[in-house]
């Protein structure tokens, strides 16, 4: 399989830059997720890689070959669309074989390759069935088999699970990762679902307004977002304005409206005393105890319990701290809901206090999708 290199790519629709100077390198056999809200340019970028959209500037390379101006059929990329785009008048096997027939592959080889592709997607017994007899998850696997059977140089997936219900999406994202890895397929996968991206990807590229804000492993992007926009879009977070009071090898001290905080010294942002910063604290990082047990010092806060939203496997609690509202999660919440108004002690580890650069221009950061 080949790697994919995108350099300074620009795609415009009229005066609007849907893709605005994007550069991204994808290693052979790597599975990269393009994550972002609707309208951020991720599908346009994917379609440019596939050859369905012509860029105005920049380049796309598959390995050493420049494919920027090649038509889609000459790129030998497998594409799975959000709608699956299966032929309803054909059987499953005929749908999978369609691309091979277009390539004029010998009949005996077509039969063998179709059988192997259906087996790899756990659809071998479904070959004679009609498309309208299949569930959404089965149709998705047929679309994958059709893309893989032509032995593409890379695989491009455009929101492949968007039309499935939540339970089936969880199951199918595991199967997609298994299939891509078993084929050693270089894959670009577009989604707006953060959980999907974190579960499937080797690396995640977060997009906003036609640009890539951050690229990293799922753990890096979630635990160490590079900006307020990334922190807000990838999962939930509590964002507080703060100011650095000191920084040395023992940690970074901060003052904030909710109290004194300290972060670990290896933060990526340049930490200079006096600088304004954003402080990001994930809800699951806040640990609660009875208010009477609250010790003094940094990273120890006093709070009053607000409303609670019960979500089954977890409860989402609102905490009121010095005039600010924070969110925290309780896994496997107790049967009896907590009473609002009680005093609590709140603690957060220094490693979970994430410092982000202060930037007023990020006030239009994307909301969670």
pLDDT at 169: 84
CATH no., domain 236-360: 2.40.50.100
The answer to whether the beta carbons of residues 271 and 244 sit under 8 Å apart is yes
Q: Which long-range contacts (CB under 8 A, 24 or more apart) does 218-226 make?
A: 222/198, 223/354, 224/268, 224/354, 225/280, 225/354, 225/356, 226/268, 226/356
pTM of the model: 0.88
Q: Which residue, 150, 149, 151, 125, is CA-closest to 138?
A: 125
Q: Share the mean pLDDT of the chain.
A: 90
C-alpha–C-alpha distance, residues 96 and 144, integer Å: 9
Q: What is the C-alpha end-to-end distance of the chain, expressed in Å?
A: 32
Q: Please compute the mean of the pLDDT values over residues 233-242 and round it to a whole number.
A: 94
Tokens of 307: 């409303």
Q: Which residue, 31, 12, 42, is CA-closest to 212?
A: 42
pLDDT at 162 > cutoff 90? no
**% the chain with pLDDT above 90:** 72
pLDDT at 100 > cutoff 60? yes
Could you tell me which residues come within 8 angstroms of residue 119 by beta carbon, excluding any fewer than 6 positions away? Answer: none
pLDDT at 368 > cutoff 50? no
Per-residue pLDDT tens digits for 280-329: 999 999 998 876 655 667 899 999 999 999 999 999 999 999 999 999 99
**Higher model confidence: residue 296 or residue 195?**
195
pLDDT at 3: 97
pLDDT at 339: 79
Per-residue pLDDT tens digits for 116-160: 999 988 898 999 999 989 998 899 889 999 999 999 999 999 998
Q: Which residue, 56, 57, 55, 51, is CA-closest to 74?
A: 51
Could you tell me which residues come within 8 angstroms of residue 102 by beta carbon, excluding any fewer than 6 positions away? Answer: none
At which residue do the structure tokens 């679309």 appear?
143
Which fold, 4-228? Rossmann fold (3.40.50)
Q: Name the residue ranges covered by the structural domains of the chain.
A: 4-228, 236-360
Q: Which residue, 19, 37, 24, is CA-closest to 367?
A: 37
pLDDT at 277: 95
Per-residue pLDDT tens digits for 1-41: 799 999 999 999 999 999 999 999 999 999 999 999 999 99
The answer to whether the beta carbons of residues 137 and 166 sit under 8 Å apart is no
Q: How confident is the model at residue 67 (pLDDT cuts 50, 70, 90)?
A: very high
pLDDT at 170: 84
Fold: same for 4-228 and 236-360: no
C-alpha–C-alpha distance, residues 352 and 322, integer Å: 20
């Amino acid at each position: 399989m080949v790697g994919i290199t995108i350099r300074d790519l620009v795609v415009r629709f009229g005066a609007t830059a849907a893709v605005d100077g994007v550069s991204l390198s994808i290693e052979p056999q790597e599975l990269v997720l393009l994550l972002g809200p609707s309208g951020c340019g991720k599908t346009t970028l994917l379609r440019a890689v596939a050859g369905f959209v012509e860029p105005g500037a920049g380049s796309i390379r598959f390995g050493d070959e420049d494919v920027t101006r090649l038509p889609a059929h000459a790129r030998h990329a497998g594409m799975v669309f959000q709608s699956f785009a299966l032929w309803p008048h054909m059987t499953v096997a005929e749908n999978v074989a369609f691309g091979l027939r277009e390539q004029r592959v010998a009949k005996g080889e077509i039969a063998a390759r179709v059988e192997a592709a259906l087996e790899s997607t756990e659809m071998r017994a479904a070959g004679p069935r009609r498309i309208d007899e299949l569930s959404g998850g089965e149709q998705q696997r047929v679309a994958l088999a059709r893309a893989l059977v032509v032995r593409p140089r890379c695989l491009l997936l455009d929101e492949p699970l968007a039309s499935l219900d939540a339970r089936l999406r969880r199951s199918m994202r595991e199967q997609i990762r298994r299939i891509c890895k078993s084929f050693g397929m270089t894959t670009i996968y577009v989604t707006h679902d953060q959980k999907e991206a974190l579960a499937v990807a080797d690396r995640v590229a977060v997009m906003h307004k036609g640009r890539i804000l951050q690229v990293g492993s799922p753990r890096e992007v979630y635990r160490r977002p590079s900006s307020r926009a990334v922190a807000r879009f990838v999962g939930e977070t509590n964002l507080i304005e703060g100011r650095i009071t000191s920084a040395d090898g023992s940690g970074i001290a901060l003052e904030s409206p909710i109290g004194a905080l300290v972060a670990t010294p290896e933060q990526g942002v340049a930490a200079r005393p006096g600088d304004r910063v954003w402080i990001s604290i994930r809800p699951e990082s806040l640990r609660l105890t009875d208010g009477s047990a609250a010790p003094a010092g940094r990273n120890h806060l006093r709070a009053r319990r607000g409303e609670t939203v019960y979500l089954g496997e977890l409860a989402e609690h609102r905490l009121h701290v010095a005039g600010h509202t924070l969110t925290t999660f309780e896994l496997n919440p107790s049967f009896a809901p907590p009473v609002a108004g009680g005093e609590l002690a709140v603690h957060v580890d220094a490693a979970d206090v994430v410092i982000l650069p202060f930037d007023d221009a990020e006030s239009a950061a994307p909301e969670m999708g």
